[in-house]
Chains A and B, each alone.
Chain A
């Protein structure tokens, strides 16, 4: 593959994403967010190709073009990151229908991966940030692609994305602040590789408790939650809409409801539990 000075190449779930980005400022942003997935010498040709440039009529306007897609336009860096990533991850899901994509954070501890599932804005990334600072390693804070044949989880290591400054642990100096989000680059995080998944925690913020509560749940409840949080479950079952796969995955995991309102205590309890899981 010919490479030019404006080009950045990422390898994500063995898919090659080429981004031709002329503005150096935007290349810096992309590398802060996705730099952990950058490759310099890809083993195969591009699966997805993006072109990013400023509008010729309005130099504040960023245009994201993808071959085969519609142009995405914004003049806000935070929205630029959001639009680019959303488009890219949707395309990646199409390229890897064999993987089950769960909307979830994923962390590794002593060779075992766990999923942290919660609706957007309810603390996945903040809890992940606390866990990374408590001995866990980072796989993702947003997207957990599961290989259902091996029950392993692929890393999706973009910069950890926070909605607000976390209440615990100082952010590193290279943190990127945008109008809406805070991004902690991966070179400040402890990273994990492809890991076998052992547990799933359905996270709830509970203001009315003194200590975090970890409550085991059964396979049926876990499967229903996994199903509801999957991004491509329909690709995994022609006859049953993927219900069988959700049950199969849930049946192989230790599943818990995690009620939390104290990050440091929560990390400690989850660590204790992960130590007890084979």
Chain B
């Protein structure tokens, strides 16, 4: 997957998630794996709906966590790459 600023990442519908104090637990039943996401990764995960671009998610992150846009963009790109590596994202 080519991950750049214009990508509109979308998480797979079959992942099971539960929020605990703002942090997401993501259960991948196919891989029999459970993942714990920190607060910012959970925020980004919840924005990966296929409608928002990486740029838009980064803008939301700056609003929510009071960080610079550059830092937010880097965080979103890293998180989306990590989600992709874990198999959380739809490929197309």
Interface residues, chain A, with chain B CB atoms under 8 Å away: 218-221, 223-224, 227-228, 240-241, 243-244, 247, 250-251
Contact = CB atoms under 8 A, between A and B. Distances in A.
A220 B34 contact: no
A218 B23 contact: yes
A243 B36 contact: no
Nearest to A251: B20
In the A-B complex, the 8 residue pairs with the closest CB atoms:
A220-B20, A220-B23, A224-B36, A243-B18, A219-B20, A224-B34, A227-B34, A220-B36
B52 interface: no
A83 B18 CA distance: 37
B25 A220 contact: yes
Given A218-B23, A241-B29, A244-B18, 14 more contacts: A218-B21, A219-B21, A220-B25, A223-B25, A224-B35, A224-B36, A227-B34, A228-B34, A240-B16, A240-B27, A243-B18, A243-B27, A247-B18, A250-B20
17 contacts: A218-B21, A218-B23, A219-B20, A220-B21, A221-B36, A223-B20, A224-B25, A224-B34, A227-B25, A228-B34, A240-B27, A241-B29, A243-B25, A243-B34, A247-B20, A247-B25, A250-B20
Interface residues of B, number: 12
Interface in B49-72: none
A interface: dominant SS:
helix
A207 to B, nearest CB: 26
A68 to B, nearest CB: 27
A240 B23 CA distance: 17
Contacts of B36: 220-221, 224
Contacts of B24: 220
B46 to A, nearest CB: 15
Interface in B1-56: 16, 18, 20-21, 23-25, 27, 29, 34-36
Q: Select the residue from A228, A243, A250 with max chain B CB neighbours within 10 A.
A: A243
Given A224-B35, A224-B36, A247-B25, A240 B18 contact: yes
A219 to B, nearest CB: 5
Q: Select the residue from B21, B24, B25, B29 with max chain A CB neighbours within 10 A.
A: B25
